[in-house]
Amino acid sequence: MPDIASWPPLDDDKRPFGQQLLDWAADDSGARPRLCLVQGAEGSGKSHLLAWFLAGSPGHPHTTVHATVPAEGLTVDTFAWELGRQLGYGPLSPARLLAWMRRDERPLLLLVPDLHRAGAGPADLPQADPAALVAELLEPLLSLPHLRAAVEVGASGLLPAEGVETIELGSSPPVIAGLPADGPASPKPAAFTELVAAVPHTPDGRPDWSQAPDAVRRHALDAALRADDGAAAVRGLLADPGFLVHGAADAITSVLADERIPVPGRLRQVWRRAAPELTAVHTGSAARAALLHAAAVGTDAALAEYLRPLAQRNDWAAVWARRDTPVAALSPLPGSERHLLVADATGRLRAYDLDTGAPTATIGSPPVVRPGSVAPRDARSMLLLDEDGALLPLAPEDDTAAATVLAHIAEHHGSAALTEKESRVTALGGCLPSPYAVVGDGGGTVHVWSLSDYQETPWSCRLHEQPVTAATCLHRPEHGLTFVFSAALDGSLRLWETSAEPMPVPVQERPALVTALAAADTPTGPVLAAAWGDAELHVWDVFSGRVRILPLLHACHALALTSEGLLTIGGPDGLYAVRLRLEDLWDG
Domain ranges of the chain: 4-168, 192-314, 321-585
- Spatial CA neighbour of 130 closest among 205, 73, 208, 69: 73
Percentage of the residues of the chain whose pLDDT score is greater than 90:
68
pLDDT in tens, 22-74: 999 988 888 899 999 999 888 888 988 999 899 888 877 788 999 999 999 99
> Cis (ω within 30 of 0) for the bond into 458?
no
What pLDDT, on the 0 to 100 scale, is given for residue 588? 57
Q: What is the pLDDT of residue 182?
A: 38
- Min mean pLDDT across 2-16, 22-36, 293-307 is at 2-16
Q: With cut-offs at 50, 70 and 90, classify the pLDDT of residue 282.
A: low
pLDDT of residue 175: 38
What would the mean pLDDT of 359-368 be, rounded to a whole number?
A: 77
Angle between helix 94-103 and helix 76-87 axes, rounded to 10 deg:
40
Q: What is the pLDDT of residue 180?
A: 37
DSSP of 336-358: EEEEEEEEETTS-EEEEETTT--
How would you label 477-499 residue by residue, b for 16+ Cβ within 10 Å and e otherwise? eeeeebbbbbbbbbbbbbbbebe
State yes or no: pLDDT of 550 exceeds 50: yes
pLDDT in tens, 104-141: 888 999 999 999 999 998 888 899 999 999 999 999 99
Contacts of 474 (CB under 8 A, 6+ apart): 431, 432, 482, 483, 485, 519, 520, 521, 526, 528
- Cβ(440)–Cβ(383) under 8 Å? no
Using CA atoms of 494, 558, 550, 209 in order, give the dihedral in degrees to the nearest 10.
Answer: 180
Say which range, 44-53, 179-188, 567-576, has the weakest mean pLDDT.
179-188
Class of domain 4-168: alpha beta
Average pLDDT over residues 376-386: 90
Q: What is the mean pLDDT of the chain?
A: 90
pLDDT for residue 104: 87
Q: Which long-range contacts (CB under 8 A, 24 or more apart) does 196-203 make?
A: 196/220
Q: What would the 3-class secondary structure string for 489-532 be? A: CCCEEEEEECCCCCCCCCCEECCCCEEEEEEEEECCEEEEEEEE
Q: pLDDT band at residue 496, thresholds of 50, 70 and 90?
A: very high
Per-residue pLDDT reduced to its tens digit, 155-182: 888 998 889 999 998 755 443 333 333 3
Fold category of 321-585 in CATH: Methylamine Dehydrogenase; Chain H (2.130.10)
Residue 388, Cβ neighbours under 10 Å: how many?
A: 9
Confidence bin at 567 (pLDDT 50/70/90): very high
Whether the predicted pLDDT of 386 surpasses 70: yes
Backbone torsions φ then ψ of 401, nearest 5 degrees: -65, -50
Sequential DSSP letters for 245-310: HHS-HHHHHHHHT-TTS--STTHHHHHHHHHHHHTS---SHHHHHHHHHHHHTTT-HHHHHHHHHH
Q: How far apart (Å, rounded) are the C-alpha atoms in residues 460 and 416?
A: 13
Looking at residue 179, its pLDDT comes to 33
Within the chain, what is the greatest distance between any pair of CA atoms? 95
- Written as one letter, the residue type at 259 is E
pLDDT at 366: 66
Is residue 1 over pLDDT 90? no
**55-59, 397-401, 478-482: which is most confident:** 397-401
